[in-house]
Amino acid sequence: MEHIAALLLVIGCSSNMTDCRELSVPVSVFETFEACTAERPFALGDLQGQAAHVVGKCLAVDPALEDDYDQIAWNVRPDGTLDASLEVSGMLIASNSVRPEKVSLKQQ
């Protein structure tokens, strides 16, 4: 089984940054954080045009918690800065956003 070291999160927003949603990318999990960082600009470029503003961030995955993560919490600030973090069972691991959106990683 391969371990995941990073997850690529891409968000598309309206021109005034008030309406944002997660955008699908062909590859969203990576074996290294560096691989995610290298792919990020290409993924963002491929998604231009799907929203007025497209932002993305690589999130480091702790291998010890890899199977426990069940949500991504994210928030796009008015200046276009993306704050995002991974959560385990509703417990916030780390984030600097004020009121993040939460997206479930596991299907119900």
Of all helices (H) and strands (E), which one includes residue 57? strand 53-60
**pLDDT computed for residue 91 by the predictor:** 58
What would the pLDDT profile of 69-108 be if each residue is shown by its tens digit?
778 889 999 888 999 988 876 555 555 555 555 555 544 3
Q: For residues 33-40, give the mean pLDDT.
A: 96
Count other C-beta atoms under 10 Å from residue 20's C-beta. Answer: 18
**pLDDT computed for residue 61 by the predictor:** 85
Distance CA 12, CA 30 (A): 21
